[in-house]
Each structure stands twice: as structure tokens, then as C-alpha cells.
Structure 1
Amino acid sequence: MDTTGLEFRLINELIESSQDGVFVLNSLNKIILNNVTASRITGYSPAELIGQDAFLLGSGLHDDSYFQKIEQFLEMNLRWQGSMINRTRTGQAYLANVLIIRINDDEGDLQFYLLRLLSVQILGDLVDSVITHMPQFDACPNLLPGSEITLSTFFDINTGDNNNDSFALILLKIEASEYEPNGRNSHQSASDKIVSYLASQSQQFVFAGKLNHNYLITIASFQQRNTLEQILGHLRLVLIEMINSENKSANQPIGLSLSAAVYPENGIYLDSLLVKAVSTMLHAKTINKQSSYFIDEPQNKSSSNLITYSYLKEALNNEGLCLFYQPIVTLDNQIVAIEAFLRCKDDQGGLLLPNEFFPVAEKYQLLPAIEKWVIAQALQDMKMINSTSLRLHVNISASQFLHPDFYQELQENLRHYDFSPSMLSLEINNDLMTKQQAAAMSVQLLQKSGINIAVSCGYSLFTSYRFMAEIGARQIKFDRYYARKIYERKVDQTEIDIMLKQLLSQNSEVIIEGIEREDDLEFFKSRGCNLFQGIYFYPPMTIEQLMQSI
């Protein structure tokens, strides 16, 4: 930032005196200044924030296109205000009303951004308010505020075991200006009417509650997935007509936005579903859509998804799943570990990659059975290899890792195949950040039994490092993203240097994925790394090919 002396001190004083969380970002999106309020909101100290990419503050719920639209708007208008979901240092998701101001130099080029968090709502607190403040009727009177409620428990209480409907958490936002005469009262009146209506439709809506004066929540039952969009659209029209029927003299009619997250494919916890519903609403607004639901595939993909579903069902029933293995090697090319990669056979004899079928597996609740198969098959293959010095790495989803039966079932598999727990590494990712306390307890239990836990490092090194430290994991894997971006010269090498130095000084085990070229290897080798994985050494291979290589 091209400010010196008195100018810089004045800017700093203005920022520090602000009651909002304030950040200054340079043209590379690095944080160069933040105030005490910003640290209080995010949980990061100023020392932890300065020099970090602003991505550190993100939730991972907004894709690149969302931020590209904001950047394009700022190029034209220099000022953008809207909602955004971020995460605190401990992984809590929060909804922020954000103001971003673009500051250009004399030639019109970007100099820095001023980012202000005008208001913040921790989404976990919104969930507590749903449980504890349900006007007119309370569907779960025995649930304690702040308890970790899964919707399966909720539905067992309220709908019984014989209900075959599907369920969606629906978020409703009242769109009325508070600067209109009686604007706040209009919000209150509209929210009361909406809750009354939802309460009267108990055949379809399990409960309704207010989050605050303009956000409401309900859970709806529906028979088929393709009817959910119709339910949202119809509900919005009915509610808009109802809440505006007595307010025809208003300068601006009250509007309404709806979004939904589907249980259990989008999550099993109230807070995770709520986060995804909020994320969906924000994305929908960028395309002027007033109702949508989370991760709904485009229409032209629906038929291929049904085909993939049939492949998966067939694969589970008829040995159509298979594992490939990629070695993890030392600098002298000694194989010390292998990672299991899942593939699914299609009806043409080809192989489907995980990114082609995992979303569908989650959608149709096939993932638990698939992951159980992976662990059992990988342990069986290790028995064939019959090596006491080769470690096995297996990727585990967040839902499976936190499942109450996961630890016991894993221990039974290890005993059945006579496999040492110390030779197994479970790879997890930052998806578990929203359940950090539960993740830490699982990590502690697993590591106590001798099993290793490796954190797969995503797009934010610092976030992954903090997550690794908080849960007590001892291994970290640098995603292939870093090797690729270093080759393309699109990543901050200083950040990587600092993080590697910190990790290696703590004797953490660091594995670098995605090594494809000698340049990739030399970069990490020169920084003290000794464990690598990638096609520069070995491609993924069948168990038969692996046995010939070791």
C-alpha cells in the first residue's frame, strides 16, 4: 500500500476506531492491515492474519464464479455490499454483511481493497435460536440449546419411523427495506404471518421458527426430488401474496427469497444444512433467482446421474468396484506407503473416477457402504502383499469419520485381517472443520489405538495447518494443487517456505502429492521434504502391478 508516515497512521487510527471488523487487502489479496474487531470476529490474532491470503477467511462454500462477479462489479462501481459466508479460526461458519471498497491509484489500477464486516451472525447461533425460539409451536421441546442435533434424531421424534418422505431444510428471507416507513414493523408482521401459515400446513411442514426479524426456517417433507423446486416456487408465491395483501399502500411490496438444503445428502446436522441453505441463497441472487436448493445438478446431467447411480448399485452388488494404488516414496525412490484410489467399472468396461460418482453416491446414500467396502478390500489386498513395513493410506469422508460406529467397525476390520493399526493412515480434509470438536475427539481415539491421521491440505495452507494442530493430527499431505501452481508460478512460494519450515521443525510428517516433473521434485526437495507421491515416480496401479513393483 503506497501510504507512508502521517497518511498511514491516519488510516490505521480510522480502522482501529471502527466498531466493524476492517481489513485492508493489497492488489494480491493479501491482508496488510486489520483491526481488533476483525481479530475478535475471526479468532485470528493480527500476527496470524498479516500477510495471509484473504482466502484464509473464507468458508469454502462460495465458488470462483461468486468472487469473480464481485470483482467485476468492483471494477465498474468501486463499491460492493452484500452477504458472504466466512469461517472463524475454529471453523465456525458465520454470515457477514460485507462492504468492499476498491481503491485505485492515479492511473486507475487496483491499489488495495478496504473490506468491512458490517454485521456478523454465527450460523450455529441461528440454529440455537431455531431450537429455543419457536413461536406458536415447538416441534422438539426436549432438545437442549447448543446440543449437536442430527435431523435423523429430529425426524424420529416428530415423524415416526414409518414415514418414507424426504425432507429439506428451507430458509426464508423477507426482502423489505428497513428504511421504508414502518419497515421494521413490516418485517415483524410478515414473519408472524409466515410462521402462522407454516404452522397451519403441518402435513407438509414439520416446524417453523424465526432466526431473526427477517430470516425464518422450516423443514418440509416431499415425495420426489423433482417436486422440491415446485414446492419452493409455489410456497414463495403463496407467502408473497399473503404478506402483501394488507400492505397494498406500501411504496415497495415485501419480497421473499427461499433456498433449501436436502437431508441427508447435503448434511445431517441442522447447522451444516443451514450453512448450505444460506450459501445457496447467496449464489441464487447472483443470477436473480428467488428460489433454489443446494447442489442441484443441471438438467442436462440428470440422465447421466441416473446411469451413474445404476453403475454404483451394480458395482456394489456384483464386484464392480476396484482399487488402484499409488506408492508414496522417499528421495531414493524407496516405497514406504501406498494410497488406495477407488474406481467404479461402467457397463462398457471403462472406469469412472471418484469425481464422476462420489456426488451421486452421497446423493443416493451409497457412500457409507462404498467406504466400508474400500477399507475391507484395501486391508485384504495388504494381506496379499504381506509386508510389515508398508503403510496404507485410505481417504475417509467427514460423515464416515464422525459416524458413531466407525471406530468399532474399523477395529474389527483390523483384527479380522490381522493388520497393525500403526500401518494405517486415514486421510481427512478440511470438511471436518465445522465439526472440529467432534473431529478432535475421533482423532484422539484413533491415534491412541495406533492409527495415523493425515490432513489433506486444501487451497489454504494456513487453515489446514491450524486445523491439523487443533485436532492433534501428526501428518499433512500437500495437495497436488501446490505442485501444479508452483510449476505455473501462480502461488506464493514464501507462504509455502514458511509453512514447510514450521511443519518440519515440529517433526510433522509432510507428504507432497502431484509430483509430475523434476522441477516439482527439486523445489520441495530443496526445502527439506522427503516423502513424495505422483506420476514422476509411479502412476496409480492395480494390486497385481503394485506387487510387481515392490
Structure 2
Amino acid sequence: MDETGHPAGGDAEFHAVHDAVLRLLKLHQSALDAISQGVLITDANRRITYVNAAFVELTGYTAEEMIGSSCALLQGPGTSAETVQAMRAALDRGEPFRAELLNYRKDGTPFWNELKIVPVCGDDGTLTQFVGVQRDVTARRDAMNKLSLAARVFEQSNEALAIADLGGRFVAVNNAFTRITGYAEHEVIGQNPRLLKSGLHDDDFYRRFWQELQTRGRWEGEIWNRRKDGTVYPEWLSVGRVVDEAGQTQNYVASFSDITARKHAEENVRRLAYYDPLTGLPNRALLQQRAAQALQIAVRHGETVALMFLDLDHFKNVNDTLGHPVGDRLLVALAQRMRPVLRDQDTLARVGGDEFVLVLPGTDAAGATHVAHKLLQIVQEPLQLEGHELTVTPSIGVAIFPTDAADYDTLFAFADAAMYRAKMSGRATFSFYTAEMQAQMARTLRVENALRRALERHEMQLHYQPQCSAADGHVVGVEALLRWNHAELGWIGPAEFVPLAESSGQIAVIGRWVLDTALRQQRAWLDAGLRPLRMAVNLSAVQLRQAGLADLVAELLQRHRVDPAWLEIELTETMAWDDPEGSARQIARLRAMGLRIALDDFGSGYTSFSHLSLFQAGTLKIDRSLVSRLAPGASENSVVAAIVNLARTLRMHTVAEGVETPTQRELLLEAGCESAQGWLYGRPMPAADLEALIRGASAGPVG
């Protein structure tokens, strides 16, 4: 041993080699630690024997924690078992292995690890260790995933996408682009978007397009383009600039969608909002707009405008008899017939079931008369539909702007009023609005408003007219007749207010009041000792259609303790026209309760035996229009006799209405009529007066 403590002699050479090895090892470790990639070395059994500083930084584990451990320490729930198995198989064979594997740091955060593992053998070829190099490629994979996602979105987007260079030439398009435009990708790459121009936009449009794109960085809006096959279509287009870090434009990106379906839907909505779906004519909303425009133009030019209101006469009979499909086809056919009568500036609109309105700019009364005559002629021409020959007639009302009215709403109302005047004049004609109609409209409005509070104010009352034996004049029954005494308007007849009550929905309340009051009075007379008299009460067509009518009558009969046999319900044959089957069922319910049915106004119009069978009436009332014409030698005498004979054959009781003279009474007796009512026997009177009449000594005609 020398003084330094090292072996002397030959040992000096050993120490020199030992020190050199130590220096090399330190140099080797320093070199490995300087590498930015993680390095680990394992023995042949894959136990870690060395990790460098980069590996420690990458994993978060210290070298002491890693030495002696397995690489499985870095694996976790997201690590691919398949990749691990492939790695082990390669290392077992002594082969190099390379892969990307999801590993986990000490704190549990995952990272993508790019592995390169190489086996190391000794001089004798025996496997001694493995050297692994790895690096974190998470950021690279995220970037690649984002690029892959962007590529998939680009290709799979339902919206067409296109990228253009600074010169505006296409550099990329997606599948939706080729589907919408019809161009294949290779046909548009390198081409300018002008390839798609429709020709519907002028140069100023494209100038403003590019100006906004450059100043704001984007443009968005509706544009029309052309497909490869030449068809023009609307699209919603968004174009934006792609800029680099310095803010310089690098590319343009466009996205668009074909909005043809949306435009069609918008058009359908517009048509539904402004056009009648059945006939295709303008509806009430569009009519109002066009009429307002026509009136404005007329004011500027000092012209007139005619507004015509056309309603088909008895159109409901077509629907009820042949069905609504036939009625609809009839309306379509008539709309087509009327169109040729009009000029381009005229408007024909359908505003209701069988109601049409025409607006004729620049048309005065003479011009309207000419058009009305043409409409009357063409509408009345027979039509062949579903094997039926149909003929309908129109009633037309005409109002002139500004002669009759200064605004559309008033003009419309006046034409409507004139149309109703045409119907009252016999239908199949036309009528011009007059000032007299305005006064009538004002009264109608006032009466309708007053009617709403008539019962509340106790203005309604029942008068009773006696029905007497034609042979000896004694009272056999009474008819309850509704009267209205308004505080300001005075007595208002039922012919005026009953139709208003029906149209305004008040008839149900009034009808219930009439039945209740009549039966209450009948009970009062019975309680006062009068002999039972049949009480006749009129029903309206609206009441006959009410589902609860029979229940209401039964309730009131029970409340007032009146035998159903002493209540007679008067109906007119026209009531059954709207719903013959429903009317028959309603009448059958009433008859089943024990009530008597009277067919009123017989002989005033068309009557068929089917109606007599439908009503199953026990009483036939001869209309006053026939009775008033009875005279010695008059032809009406035979008509009345025939009606009485018909009633007798059908076992029906006859009552003649409107008997005013002894001569009429005698002729009715000769014809075999059993009962009569009219001024000859007594006018309609308050209950107290009728009671006095019944109690009086005189049982014959009065006056």
C-alpha cells in the first residue's frame, strides 16, 4: 500500500481504470440528463435501473420511486391493453418496439407517450437490459384530433362549405357544396365563385357585398345562385375572412344552405294568410289591403271605386242535399267562371262560405251595373257536377266610393246591406246601396243592442189571441204571441226582432222565457177556474235545432203542472229544410211527451207530402195570405177546400189564420174548416183581457 492508501505496484493501473470508468459514468449520466426526452433503462426482467431527469419531470415520480419498479406503474384505466400486450410480446422476442401509449403521471393526469424501446445484449449475445426513450406527444395528438374533427365536420356538414384563396378561387369544398350546386369537387377547385352567379343580382349588389366583407370582415344574407344544371335557387350565405397573427387576410371561408324549402314554406304561409285555400282567391285580409290601396289611388286621381257583395241564393241546400264536397266543387267552378269578367286591376275575393266580394277601381254606377249583369248571367248558367245539373243564382249588393262611403269598412257594410235588399227583392238580382238602407242599418243596430236588455228591463210581454170554433165561435184555444214595447222605440214587431234574436244568439234565452211565461199563465188560468184551453207557442228554427229542447219543455210542464196535451208547438215547414232528419227526431221527442204539433203558414209557399209526414202534425194552420183572398167565386175558395180535405184525410185539425170578415168565416165553414183566429174573433191581447173575453157572455165573433 502506498501513502495514499491505494494498492502499490500493479494496482495503480486498476485504480486508473476505475477512476476513468467513474468519470465516464458521470459523463454518461450528465449526457442523458441533458436530453429533453425521457430515458429509462431496465434490466432483463424489465425492472427499472435508471431514469433521466427528463423522465422524472415528465412523470412526476422521483428516480428513487422509479428504480426497481415496473413500467406498469405508469399505466391506468385508459391505457390500451392491446398495445401493452403487443409491447410485451415484442420485448419477449428481444425485438425493438415503438408505439404511442396513454400513460398516467404520479398525480393521475393522463398524457400520450411516444415510446421507443430497444433491447441491449452483452458480448455473448445475452439480453442484459432495455433502453427506452419517450416523449409527451399529447399536444400533437390534440392538434391532430382537432384537425381530424375539423376535416370530418367540413365533409359531413349539412351546410355547404368552401374555402377560397386571396384571389377568390376555390381551394376546398365539402360534400354538401357538391350536392347543392351539382358541381364535382374537381370542377370548382381553382374556379372563381362567379361560376355560380344566377344573373338575378346587379353589379351594385356584388360591390356592396365585397365592401362589407372587407370593412366588417364578414357578409351574411340571402342570395340567388345557379346550379350546374342551370336551375336558380335561393341560399342563405355567410362569408368571412381568415386572418393570420398579423391580421392579414389569408383565405375566405363561405358557408351556405339551400333555403328553397323554407321559401316554399314561407310562400305557403303567405298564401294561407292571404288566399282562400279552396278557390285560390284572395281572402278577407288581402281584400282589405287591396281595397285600401284602390281607395288611396282613387282619392289621388279623383276616381270612383265600386265594391260588390255577391251571395249565392240557397247555396246551403246544395251542401245539405248533395254534400259539402259537391258544394266545394261548385264554389271552385263559380270562382273560375267569374274571373274572366274582371280586369287585371280588379279583385275578386271569397270572404265567407258562399260570399264573394269584388273591388272594381275606376268603376262608377254604370260600370258596376254592366258587371253585375254579366255576373248574374254567368253564375246562373247550369253546371254539371257529379252527375248533377246544378243551377244557382246570386244576389248582389253594390256600393260606390266615395259617393256612398268614404272608407272601406263602411263601403263593405253598405254593399252587404244592398245585397240583403236584393235578396228581399226576390233574389237573382242586384241592388245599389241607398240612404234608406243606412237608416235601416242604424235602426237594426239599435234594435239589436236594445234586444240584449229587453228581458232584463221587462219590456217583453206575451199577448194571447183566441182560436175559436168556426161553427159557434166559442174559444177552443189561444196562441201566445211575443210583443216588445221599447221605452223609446215603442212597439217592435216580431218580424223585425225575431230574426235579430236568431242571428245574435239571443233566441234561446227569449224562447225559454216565452215557454215559461205561457205555461205559467196557463196554470194561472186553471187555478182561476177557467176550463183547460190548448196553448199554442211558436218555436224558431234555432230552437228546433237545440239538443235540450225536449228536456226544457218537460221541465217547464212539470214546474207549472200543465198537462202536455194542452200545449201545442207551432212550426213552419221551412224549419226542417236545414236538417230534416234532426228535425224529425226532435219532433218525435215532443210528440212522445204528449204535445200536439201544428204546421203553421200552410199554403204560403212550396209544400210537399214528405214535409207533412216529417212533422206528423195534428193541426194544419191555413195561412192568412189565402184567407185574405177568400170571396164568393174566388179561385182561392177551391184551394182552401182542397187543403181542408187533405187535412181531414190525414186526420188533422184545421185552423184558419187572419179571419177578419163574416164572409171569410162563412166560406171557411162551407169548406169544412173547424177553427179560426183573427180580428173577427179578437186581436192579440193581454192575459187579463183574454180571461175577461172567455168569461164573457158572448162566445161568438166580436166587432
Corresponding residue number in structure 1 for 2:298: none
Note closer, same or farther for the CA distance 1:492–1:93 as it changes in structure 2 (3 Å cut): farther
State how 1:439-478 maps to structure 2 within 5 Å. Answer: 439-460=583-604, 463=607, 466-478=610-622
Note closer, same or farther for the CA distance 1:313–1:389 as it changes in structure 2 (3 Å cut): same
The structure 2 residue matched to 1:295, chosen from 420, 427, 432, is: 420
Q: Post-superposition shift, 1:377? A: 0.9
Corresponding residue number in structure 2 for 1:305: 444
**Partner-residue secondary structure (3-state), 2:685:** coil
| Residues 1:427 and 2:552 aligned together | no
Q: Post-superposition shift, 1:130? A: 5.3
Corresponding residue number in structure 2 for 1:174: 337
Corresponding residue number in structure 2 for 1:371: 511
- Provide, for residues 268-297 of structure 1, a one-character-per-residue CA deviation record: whole Å limited to 9, x for no partner: xxxxxxx9x965x24559xxx997576369
| Residues 1:389 and 2:552 aligned together | no
The structure 1 residue matched to 2:499, chosen from 359, 363, 366, is: 359
Note closer, same or farther for the CA distance 1:492–1:517 as it changes in structure 2 (3 Å cut): closer
**Partner-residue secondary structure (3-state), 2:472:** coil
Q: How many Å separate the matches in 1 of 2:619 and 2:674? A: 13
Corresponding residue number in structure 2 for 1:415: 558
Corresponding residue number in structure 1 for 2:643: 499
Corresponding residue number in structure 2 for 1:62: none
Q: When the two structures are superposed, what TM-score results if normalisation uses the length of structure 1?
A: 0.51
| Residues 1:346 and 2:509 aligned together | no
One-letter code aligned to 1:124: T
**Partner-residue secondary structure (3-state), 1:345:** strand
One-letter code aligned to 2:324: V
Q: How many Å separate the matches in 2 of 1:541 and 1:460? A: 25
State how 1:147-158 maps to structure 2 within 5 Å. Answer: none
Corresponding residue number in structure 2 for 1:336: 476
Q: How many Å separate the matches in 1 of 2:354 and 2:673? A: 50
Q: How many Å separate the matches in 2 of 1:344 and 1:308? A: 11
Q: How many Å separate the matches in 2 of 1:426 and 1:317? A: 26
Note closer, same or farther for the CA distance 1:486–1:310 as it changes in structure 2 (3 Å cut): same
**Partner-residue secondary structure (3-state), 2:562:** coil
- Provide, for residues 272-327 of structure 1, a one-character-per-residue CA deviation record: whole Å limited to 9, x for no partner: xxx9x965x24559xxx997576369222122222322432231211110110001
The structure 2 residue matched to 1:511, chosen from 642, 655, 673, is: 655
Note closer, same or farther for the CA distance 1:496–1:127 as it changes in structure 2 (3 Å cut): same
Task: Answer whether contact 1:232 1:292 (CA < 8 A) is retained.
Answer: no
Gaps of 5+ in 2: 1-310, 362-370, 377-389, 399-410, 422-435, 695-703
Task: Answer whether contact 1:461 1:499 (CA < 8 A) is retained.
Answer: no
Corresponding residue number in structure 2 for 1:380: 520
Q: Post-superposition shift, 1:544? A: 0.9
Corresponding residue number in structure 2 for 1:531: 675
One-letter code aligned to 1:423: W
Corresponding residue number in structure 2 for 1:399: 542
**Partner-residue secondary structure (3-state), 1:341:** strand
Note closer, same or farther for the CA distance 1:218–1:424 as it changes in structure 2 (3 Å cut): closer
Task: Answer whether contact 2:604 2:625 (CA < 8 A) is retained.
Answer: no
Corresponding residue number in structure 1 for 2:692: 548
Task: Answer whether contact 2:641 2:672 (CA < 8 A) is retained.
Answer: no
Q: Post-superposition shift, 1:508? A: 0.8
Q: Post-superposition shift, 1:125? A: 2.2
Q: How many Å separate the matches in 1 of 2:445 and 2:492? A: 14
Q: How many Å separate the matches in 2 of 1:345 and 1:464? A: 38
Note closer, same or farther for the CA distance 1:490–1:278 as it changes in structure 2 (3 Å cut): farther
Corresponding residue number in structure 2 for 1:232: 357
Note closer, same or farther for the CA distance 1:368–1:464 as it changes in structure 2 (3 Å cut): farther
Task: Answer whether contact 2:599 2:615 (CA < 8 A) is retained.
Answer: no
Q: Post-superposition shift, 1:124? A: 3.3
One-letter code aligned to 2:644: L
Q: How many Å separate the matches in 2 of 1:396 and 1:385? A: 22
Q: How many Å separate the matches in 2 of 1:407 and 1:445? A: 6
Task: Answer whether contact 1:436 1:471 (CA < 8 A) is retained.
Answer: no
Task: Answer whether contact 2:603 2:622 (CA < 8 A) is retained.
Answer: no
**Partner-residue secondary structure (3-state), 1:175:** helix
Q: Post-superposition shift, 1:528? A: 1.4
Gaps of 5+ in 1: 1-82, 95-121, 136-170, 177-185, 199-204, 206-216, 221-230, 238-251, 258-274
Q: Post-superposition shift, 1:441? A: 1.4
Q: How many Å separate the matches in 2 of 1:327 and 1:318? A: 28
Q: How many Å separate the matches in 1 of 2:518 and 2:449? A: 24
Note closer, same or farther for the CA distance 1:417–1:128 as it changes in structure 2 (3 Å cut): farther
Note closer, same or farther for the CA distance 1:489–1:542 as it changes in structure 2 (3 Å cut): farther
Q: Post-superposition shift, 1:392? A: 0.3
Corresponding residue number in structure 1 for 2:322: 125
Q: What is the aligned-residue RMSD (CA, Å)?
A: 4.3
Task: Answer whether contact 1:455 1:464 (CA < 8 A) is retained.
Answer: no
Q: Post-superposition shift, 1:256? A: 7.1
One-letter code aligned to 1:547: E
Q: Post-superposition shift, 1:529? A: 1.5
Corresponding residue number in structure 2 for 1:72: none
State how 1:15-30 maps to structure 2 within 5 Å. Answer: none
Q: How many Å separate the matches in 1 of 2:466 and 2:392? A: 41
Q: How many Å separate the matches in 1 of 2:667 and 2:548? A: 42
Aligned-pair identity in percent equals 21
Q: Post-superposition shift, 1:443? A: 1.3
Q: How many Å separate the matches in 1 of 2:497 and 2:560? A: 28
Q: How many Å separate the matches in 2 of 1:461 and 1:174? A: 32
Note closer, same or farther for the CA distance 1:464–1:367 as it changes in structure 2 (3 Å cut): farther
Q: Post-superposition shift, 1:436? A: 2.0
Corresponding residue number in structure 2 for 1:21: none
- Provide, for residues 432-490 of structure 1, a one-character-per-residue CA deviation record: whole Å limited to 9, x for no partner: 24122222111111101101110113444771654222332221101111110224977
Task: Answer whether contact 1:311 1:345 (CA < 8 A) is retained.
Answer: no
**Partner-residue secondary structure (3-state), 1:456:** strand
Corresponding residue number in structure 1 for 2:44: none
Q: Post-superposition shift, 1:233? A: 3.7
**Structure whose CA Rg is larger:** 2
Q: How many Å separate the matches in 1 of 2:587 and 2:657? A: 22
**Partner-residue secondary structure (3-state), 1:295:** helix
Q: How many Å separate the matches in 1 of 2:651 and 2:330? A: 49
Task: Answer whether contact 2:538 2:569 (CA < 8 A) is retained.
Answer: yes
One-letter code aligned to 2:483: R
Task: Answer whether contact 1:515 1:535 (CA < 8 A) is retained.
Answer: yes
State how 1:168-207 maps to structure 2 within 5 Å. Answer: 172=335, 174-175=337-338
Corresponding residue number in structure 2 for 1:24: none
One-letter code aligned to 1:175: M
One-letter code aligned to 2:321: G
Q: How many Å separate the matches in 1 of 2:674 and 2:535? A: 18
Q: Post-superposition shift, 1:405? A: 1.6
Q: Post-superposition shift, 1:534? A: 1.0
The structure 1 residue matched to 2:465, chosen from 311, 323, 326, is: 326
